[in-house]
């Protein structure tokens, strides 16, 4: 159960980060370096989420 909560938290972090990058949901343009940092952070979170999901699949 706790592992599922972690998976949801990671997915929510990715969603929030993508909303910060989206043109629709922001009023101010992020500086390029901030955008690149956020993209790197989201990639790390997504990779971690994928690894967690793959390990869960192998357990079942």
Q: What tens digit of pLDDT does each residue of 3-40 get?
A: 889 999 999 999 999 988 887 766 677 788 888 999 99
pLDDT at 13: 96
Q: Calculate the alpha carbon distances from 8 to 12, 13, 27, 43 in Å.
A: 6, 9, 27, 16
pLDDT at 2: 77
Give pLDDT tens digits for 37-48.
999 999 999 999
pLDDT at 3: 86
* Residue ranges covered by each domain of the chain: 2-59
């Amino acid at each position: 159960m706790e592992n599922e909560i972690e998976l949801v938290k990671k997915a929510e972090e990715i969603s929030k980060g993508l909303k910060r990058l989206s043109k629709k949901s922001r009023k101010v343009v992020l500086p390029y370096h901030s955008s690149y940092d956020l993209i790197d952070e989201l990639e790390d979170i997504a990779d971690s989420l994928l690894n967690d999901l793959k390990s869960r699949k192998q357990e079942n």
